[in-house]
Amino acid sequence: MPNMSLEKNKMPHQDPNVRNKNFQEVALGYTLEQAKDEAERCLQCKHKPCVGGCPVAIDIPAFIQKIKEEDLEGAYEIINRSSSLPAVCGRVCPQETQCEARCVRGIKGEPVAIGRLERFVADWHRLNVEKEPTLAPKNGHKVAVIGAGPAGLTCAGDLAKAGCEVTVFEALHVAGGVLVYGIPEFRLPKAIVHDEIDKLKKIGVTIETNTVVGKAVSIDELFEEGYEAVFVGSGAGLPRFMGIPGENFNGVFSANEFLTRINLMKAYREDAPTPVHHGKNVAVVGGGNVAMDAARCAKRLGAENVYIVYRRSLDEMPARKEEVEHAMEEGIIFKVLCNPVEIMGNENKFVSGLKCVEMELGEPDESGRRKPVVKENSEFLLDVDCVIMSIGTSPNPLIKNTTKGLETNRHGCIVTEESGLTSREGVYAGGDAVTGAATVILAMGAGKNAAHSILEYLKNKE
Ligand code: FAD
Ligand code: SF4
Ligand code: SF4
């Protein structure tokens, strides 16, 4: 008999008042009993609606059935056929708008906790199975991948599994992209990402870190060096600012810089080489996942008051609901329907306040969301000494500017066909570099799709 409970099995969490002072993982994962009980909620629907909501089409009922049978390695193998980063996606995928949004159990009550089950299986595999990877026979083709984020790593993995000699060129000193420099440790422990990268190295992928393509080497030079195809997965890491007065004061950060200092340079540790300046009172401008991450990090660094300043209402906030709830539990203060107009500074050019106006929602704009309009005579000053801008990012124009014939759109995103092929023969692209800031699973899906197209291209060349 299936478990007909209307609610998901709850995930154990660190207490909010404890976790807002440490960087350890917030959600602690299911036990085997909880996972099996949750698996019993799945009705094994014949037409599998949940699979249609997963961008990489994991056979969800099949892996859940294996959990019911306590065949956890069997469950892992089913997930791994479609996803190379299950421990990552089980944690950070916006499941509520993807697989779980299509689950029939969600019609009356909560959907099956597909993401939590995926995480459970991937963690079990990581801790219990040590398999030596098998090296594929070489097919004689050489491919370059630019960027070691989820798009580049997935593409590199699939090409290596098909026998290509693959080199990933990464600008930073570590591989992982946003998974290591953006998403904080308390949401995604870095050991998980490093494990996945080690697996790729074991199947023959070479990763050249500290190599900025467009400066150290160009795409044209990579072709001259004998690479037959190139995949661009360089992400969208160029931060946007509002263009309001005061953005040059000390104590104003982009969320990307702030999070990179914390995640990659471990600025929260007492022995950190470059501790991050964080204020006593911090305003984070924006309402996405990145804004929640920055605010929760600021709180953990010891700020007394951390404000999310967002110009629409809570209902329009693009961040995952779970992340908003976690931020609220941890004491982040939400100033919604509020927009900054000027950053104030003192005589030493440090931030001394944030001038804001109140907003109200008007008619829907082209995105379908009600447009925020300024309320008359509503100006007020927020007492802060640090402002973190988290209002979006775009792709860095470096690769476009150094590659002949590479077409981009007006947002600076690389234009591709469905296959991932760009306007330049042999050059494919995917992930945030093509879509603008999106999600891990979409970037992985794009990397997979491009790897498939590159293999076809190489076969046709033969
Ligand atoms: P990236 O992950 O950005 O990787 C691109 C890589 O290319 C980087 O390592 C970069 O250093 C490298 N690179 C750039 N230019 C060059 C160059 N010229 N030469 C060599 N290397 C280069 N998504 C979710 O699904 N769930 C979440 O909860 C979530 N939270 C997020 C939180 C934060 C703080 C951020 C910033 C993003 C979050 N996202 C989340 C979005 C998600 O992480 C991205 O959509 C995803 O990482 C995109 O993958 P990518 O491989 O295209 O790019
Ligand atoms: Fe759901 Fe993401 Fe897993 Fe697909 S990869 S099943 S969308 S959690
Ligand atoms: Fe199970 Fe829900 Fe998928 Fe049906 S839709 S197979 S109940 S996870």
- Per-domain residue ranges of the chain: 16-128, 142-237+394-461, 241-391
Q: Which ligand is nearest to the CA of 115?
A: 2
- pLDDT number for residue 135: 84
- pLDDT number for residue 1: 72
Compute, in angstroms, the gap from residue 161 CA to the centroid of ligand 3. 31
Give the count of alpha carbons within 13 A of 202, CB side only. 11
What residue owns the CA closest to ligand 2's atom 8?
A: 115
Cβ contact 65:44 at 8 Å: yes
Compute, in angstroms, the gap from residue 65 CA to the centroid of ligand 3. 11
Atom of ligand 1 nearest to the CA of 438: 45
- pLDDT number for residue 368: 79
- Sort 399 into a burial class: Cβ within 10 Å, 0-12 / 13-18 / 19+: buried
Pick the CATH number of 241-391 from 3.40.50.1580, 3.90.1150.10, 3.10.105.10, 3.50.50.60: 3.50.50.60
- pLDDT number for residue 278: 67
Q: For residue 146, report the phi and psi dihedrals to the nearest 5 degrees.
A: -105, 115
What residue owns the CA closest to ligand 2's atom 5?
A: 89
- pLDDT number for residue 83: 87
- Whether 83 lines ligand 2, by a CB cut-off of 6 Å, is yes
- pLDDT number for residue 365: 81
- pLDDT number for residue 362: 87
- Whether 317 lines ligand 1, by a CB cut-off of 6 Å, is no
Domains 142-237+394-461 and 241-391 share a fold: yes
Q: Which ligand is nearest to the CA of 87?
A: 2
- Whether 443 lines ligand 2, by a CB cut-off of 6 Å, is no
Q: What is the CATH number of domain 142-237+394-461?
A: 3.50.50.60
Q: What share of the chain is helix, strand, coil (3-state, %, to 5)?
A: 35, 20, 45
Compute, in angstroms, the gap from residue 119 CA to the centroid of ligand 2. 10
- Where are the extended beta strands (E) located within 170-294? 206-208, 229-232, 238-239, 252-254, 281-285
Compute, in angstroms, the gap from residue 99 CA to the centroid of ligand 2. 6
- pLDDT number for residue 276: 67
Q: For residue 436, report the phi and psi dihedrals to the nearest 5 degrees.
A: 80, 175
- pLDDT number for residue 124: 96
- pLDDT number for residue 44: 97
- pLDDT number for residue 121: 97
Helix (H, G, I), strand (E, B) or coil at 243: coil
CATH 3.40.50.720 fits domain 16-128:
no
Compute, in angstroms, the gap from residue 183 CA to the centroid of ligand 1. 9
Cβ contact 176:148 at 8 Å: yes
Helix (H, G, I), strand (E, B) or coil at 443: helix
Tokens of 410: 């007006």
> What pLDDT digit, counting tens, does each position of 302-335 carry?
899 999 999 999 988 999 988 999 999 999 999 9
- pLDDT number for residue 384: 96
| Residues in the chain where the model's pLDDT stays below 50 | none
- Sort 287 into a burial class: Cβ within 10 Å, 0-12 / 13-18 / 19+: buried
- pLDDT number for residue 275: 61
